[in-house]
Chain A
Amino acid sequence: MNLSLLILVPLLTALVILTCKNMYSVRWVAFIGSIVQLGLGGVLLFQYNAARAAGNTAQMLFESRASWYQALNIEYYVGVDGISIAMILLTAFVVTAGVLISWKMDVLTKEFFFLIMLLSLGAYGFFISLDLFTMFFFLEIAVIPKFLLIAIWGSGKKEYSAMKLALMLMGGSALVLIGILGIYFNTNDGSGHHTFDILKISHQHIPIGIQTYFFPILFTGFGVFTAMFPFHTWAPDGHSSAPTAASMFLAGISMKLGGYGCLRVATYLMPEGAHQYSWAIILVATIAIIYGAFATLMQKDLKYINAYSSVSHCGFVLLGIGMLTKTAITGAVMQMVSHGLMTALFFGAIGMLYERTHTRQVKQLGGLLKSIPFIGVVFMIAGLCSLGLPGLSGFVAEMTVFMGAWQVQEFWHRLATILACASIVVTAVYILRAAGASVMGPIKDEHFRALKDANWNERLASVLLLFAIVAIGMAPFWLTKLVGPDSQIIMDHLSNVVGH
């Protein structure tokens, strides 16, 4: 498959949206565009598996490249492996669900869907790029529209949140840029030029002195995106002010850009740096997991609950990366996919509740399972996925991280793993508190009795995400088969370089 389609389709959709005359055509164009993306994701998965089954052992498949800026050796270079395909599928599911959830968006509809498509373009571009500079370019595309989405369509103290999010993410990207340049100036493409080519760089040895400085810079830069402690505070404010689809996108995909970058760029290209700083990654991840979980206990607004719980859950991604074992890295990727789907579903459910009840305060809600059963059930399932119920995606991802982490036979690693395991108890507490008070219990407000349950687009969005969550939760083997070999490659690379 030609990977550039993944960039062209959202781009064309966005352009067609600009020419649309009314709200109805805009959303249908956006819906069709996202369905095509979903289809492309499916075809890509199918073709990838077929190619692997046929014995294609190249590290990246469906590669294509074109020179972009010769003087600095910047190329448009794309290709995918199992990990990127998992992220692409995640993006396709979340974008489609996000478009469906925002079906009734009637304020500046055209601009809203245009920005959503622009975001998906950035995300796809980021996941398929094999050239560091192109990757950075797409990362930036995925940041700026968020500012507008929150500042224009948001709620609450939206200007503050939008500014905070944009500034912090921009700060993160600045660090990423410094890190990328640090790598670039220590590479050689064989003909005396520096290179941004990830595969080429991986075959070279970046001096350890350089890695010592640039690994933490690059990792922190990407870490800001994945809400790494202590740079996570943009997330709660940003999520709570963002419109539903933007929250879904922000938590579902945007935070995964960071995790993917930490893995694919920082850890893969600077293996010694990763070994050197693995203790710091584990420390920060463990703090995020435990502290995020306890901070969630105290939240009263559903969106804040999910945002803080995301900080805790994304800690598992970093923990998996920091443990530097194949199983833990596989687990980290699975956790990215799983958390992306689950949190999108959760934010979707919260958005649906909010649209009807006009409140997100747990105390003011209650008994919604009775008045709007479909949304109530979706909320419950998203919650159960979050607390790691087997059969849903969260469980397999977390268990893979735990199993991988436990393989490291050091006291502090073990302690971190036990603390991470303990967080699932706290998760159960805050999820059940939230669910018990908001969708279960007696009906708080008489107006709730007359609420209308989900309409077709909301149902379709929920079913789509549920399908993906259950597909991973009930049959995790397809995802481990997709991701496992590539985390093995990363792991081999890590141990080889350190070996000599």
Chain B
Amino acid sequence: MLHSKIIALVPLLPFAVFLLTGLFGRKYLKNFSGILGTLSLLVAFVISIYTAYEYFFIQGRDANGIFEKIIAFKYTWLQFSPGVSIDMGVVLDPISIMMIVVVTFISLMVHIYSMGYMKGEERYATYYSFLSLFTFSMLGLVLASNIFQIYIFWELVGVSSFLLIGFYYDKPSAVAAAKKAFIVTRFADLGFLIGILILAFYSGTLDFGTLIERFTTHNEYYSAVTAASFMGVSALTWGLVLVFIGGAGKSAMFPFHVWLPDAMEGPTPVSALIHAATMVVAGVYLVARLFPVFSLSCPPALEVVTYVGIFSSLFAALIACTQTDIKRVLAYSTMSQIGFMMFALGVSGYGGEHGLGYMASMFHLFTHAMFKALLFLGAGAVIHFVHSNDMKDMGGLRKSMPITHITFLIACLAIAGIPPFAGFFSKEEILAAAYANNKPVFVVAIITAGITAFYMFRLYFNIFWNKEKIENHSHEEHSHGEGPMTMLIPLSILAICAIGVGFIPFGKFVSSDGKELITEFNPMFSLGPVVLALSGILLALFFYKKANGKSDKVAEALGGIYRATYKKFYIDEIYLFITKKVVFNLVGRPAAWIDKNIVDGVINLSATVADNFSEAIRPIQSGKVQQYAIYFFIGALSFAVLFIYFWKN
């Protein structure tokens, strides 16, 4: 029997640390908060691993050969009406267990790494408090048993992300980036919220299990939700697409991606944790959570997922080729890889062989977390040393940072999909799923995979090879380029994972229907992607191994295309135009003007009229006896006339 109550400690430990370091950190726990946070996460990680072990190996599959969904506990938090309530619960199934392992593991690595990276920071305790808040929220999100619970934690990860991006709040650019991230994702969350309202209205529940059951079997709920339609689209499709918009916002899919590159203003370990490995995959996780409904009842919504995913992945890969800020290159590569996960879900079917895409998507989420966290932490080490984010200030760092160099290389090979590194296995399965279900998507995907290899090695060569000069920090000896052990240990552990996790037979644990999915390794099929990746790497080698100016010539030759890509296809400018010019000038300003001049104007006018009126009749009350006598006389006379007139009749 699973010790399911202990699982509650996994999110609660970081929450306790958040409260402790948040309330008392500044004064009492200053230097202790890092250790406190790390220890709590170590415990949470051990519990997660133990739960995974117990769930997959001790308890195992049930009589039907599937891993059953366990509700470890559930507490009614807010009751709306009978049957409709927000519950705070913990659900254990293969994907939630995989996610808690990933989140606690990456978070643990980042906690250890930050002890070195953030050393000497004045607000060290605050940093750890925010980090714990994020970890708590993310764990609450992945363990959610209720769609509103996921929304609650969804908003909480959003605000922790805001706080951490804006951690250096005295930098205006950091504040702007934090605001942008929050507002863009908030806008997408509006879709999520309305989606929830629609789904809850027709299903009469907010519970994931009940909701999925009611929308995938034939019953009155199912017929109601498919019969109702708005603008020719069924209510179910509306609901799911709107929920997906929320997911697309968090996962930085086009057109909501604009916040992610700017989010790199935060401390680099934060980018590794939130904006690479965990929070940004929340959208993928959300679709996976509702996957039976998407797949069995609503193929059109799943198609939206596919095309948004594939477009984002190509779009981001192209932009990544031209950026020079190393963190931004990584941000675009994250967006591109999440696009892979998204369309993998999109092309997947439900159950058995058809569920390959689902499995591959989750597998890629898993491996990507390892190598992308490694890339960011490596980039952090480089930035720590060079004090710049721009690859123009870097070059030849392989000698001064040997460990960072090797681990970064491993991560680059992993993301490029070179065997036997982790990314190869998961990407190969995604491509296989795409090939089986949607040939055009497959073609775009394989091209994107080639571009990925190119821009990753462009990054790698520019940092560690290329020009051999680093004279701008001559005060540091070459041999001292590496950070402290607290930074090197997480790099090494993650590097081992980036090599090793690909060999996990993932289909044995995670599949669309819970049954075992045996994937065959087809060497002939995987040859193509590897050759493409290798040619991408060779191209990068040709351009960037030495400072030779070849790349500049190509950029010049491409002209407008290069500039458009470098400018990120002007999406930011378009948004800025819409918000600044249209919303502020055409809606905000008129609203404020109308309020001041018309609505308030009428009120003031009525006061003025009353005032003038009383001003006008005031002379009557002059206090002069003679005047009053005249009034009296006129009055008496008029009455007399009236009296005589009526009397006569």
Contact = CB atoms under 8 A, between A and B. Distances in A.
B193 A440 contact: no
Contact of A233 (B151, B182, B200, B595): B595
B595 A400 contact: no
B317 to A, nearest CB: 30
Interface in A369-395: 369-370, 373, 384, 387-391, 395
A404 interface: yes
Interface string B580-611: 00011001110110110001101100010000
A335 interface: no
Nearest to A427: B186
B201 A428 contact: no
Contact of B79 (A294, A299, A428, A480): A480
A395 B155 CA distance: 10
A263 to B, nearest CB: 19
Interface string A289-331: 0010011011100000000100000000000000000110000
A46 to B, nearest CB: 22
A164 B171 CA distance: 42
Interface stretch (B42-50, B172-180, B299-307, B394-402): B172-180
Given A425-B186, A441-B172, A295 B197 contact: no
Interface in A398-420: 399-400, 402-404, 406-407, 409, 417-418
A168 interface: yes
B179 A436 contact: yes
A38 B405 CA distance: 63
B175 A425 contact: no
Interface string A91-129: 000000000000000000000000000000000000000
Contacts of B591: 291, 294-295, 297-298
Contact of A404 (B80, B152, B198): B80
A232 B602 CA distance: 12
B190, B200, B594 — which one has the most chain A CB atoms within 10 A of its CB? Answer: B190
A68 interface: no
B81 interface: yes
Interface of A is mostly: helix
A52 interface: no
Nearest to A437: B175
A428 B182 contact: yes
A433 interface: yes
Contact of B595 (A295, A403, A417): A295
Contact of A442 (B172, B583, B603, B607): B172
B632 interface: no
Nearest to B151: A390
Contacts of B148: 399
Contact of A421 (B183, B190, B599): B190
Contacts of A387: 186
A26 interface: no
B194 interface: yes
A113 to B, nearest CB: 31
B76 interface: yes
A403 B592 contact: no
Given A424-B186, A424-B190, A298 B176 contact: no
B78 interface: yes
A213 interface: no
Interface bracket on A? 35 or more
Contacts of B153: 390
Interface bracket on B? 35 or more
B603 A168 contact: yes
Interface in A154-200: 164, 167-168
Given A294-B591, A369-B169, A390-B156, A477 B79 contact: yes
A299 B588 CA distance: 10
Contact of A441 (B81, B169, B607): B169
Contact of B77 (A167, A299, A409, A477): A477
A291, A295, A327, A388 — which one has the most chain B CB atoms within 10 A of its CB? Answer: A295
Contacts of B76: 477
Contacts of A390: 151-153, 155-156
B153 to A, nearest CB: 8
B588 A433 contact: no
A400, A433, A477 — which one has the most chain B CB atoms within 10 A of its CB? Answer: A477
Contacts, number: 126
B166 interface: yes
B194 A421 contact: yes
Contact of B84 (A403, A409, A418, A440): A403
Interface string A228-253: 01101100000000000000000000
B592 A440 contact: no
Contacts of A404: 80
A367 interface: yes
B603 A233 contact: yes
A443 interface: yes
B32 interface: no
B187 interface: yes
B19 to A, nearest CB: 11
A484 B80 CA distance: 9
Contacts of B159: 384, 389
A6 interface: no
B62 interface: no
A229 B26 CA distance: 45
Contact of B201 (A388, A407, A418, A480): A407
B148, B200, B603 — which one has the most chain A CB atoms within 10 A of its CB? Answer: B603
B588 A164 contact: no
Contacts of A280: none
Interface in B132-156: 148, 151-153, 155-156
Interface string B342-382: 00000000000000000000000000000000000000000
Contacts of A484: 79
B170 A443 contact: yes
A142 to B, nearest CB: 21
Given A402-B193, A428-B186, A298 B179 contact: no
A396 interface: yes
Given A295-B588, A440-B169, A441-B172, A389 B183 contact: no
A8 interface: no
A389 B151 CA distance: 11
B600 to A, nearest CB: 4
A403 B175 contact: no
A291 B186 CA distance: 19
Interface in A461-476: 475-476
Nearest to A428: B186
A422 interface: yes
Contacts of B176: 436
Contacts of B588: 294-295, 297-298
Interface string B187-206: 10010011001101100000
Contacts of B86: 399
Contact of A167 (B84, B589, B607): B607
A433 B179 contact: yes
Given A327-B81, A396-B78, A421-B193, A428 B595 contact: no
B183 A480 contact: no
A441 B175 contact: yes
Nearest to B169: A440
A460 interface: no
Given A230-B599, A425-B183, A477-B77, A402 B197 contact: yes
B182 A432 contact: yes
A396 B156 CA distance: 14
A299 B156 contact: no
B81 A326 contact: yes
Contacts of A384: 159
A236 B200 CA distance: 38
Contacts of B584: 297-298
15 contacts: A232-B599, A295-B592, A298-B592, A388-B155, A389-B156, A396-B78, A399-B148, A403-B80, A403-B197, A406-B201, A409-B201, A436-B175, A436-B179, A441-B175, A477-B79
Report the 5 A-B pairs with minimum CB-CB distance, sorted nearest first: A298-B592, A294-B591, A297-B588, A390-B152, A440-B169
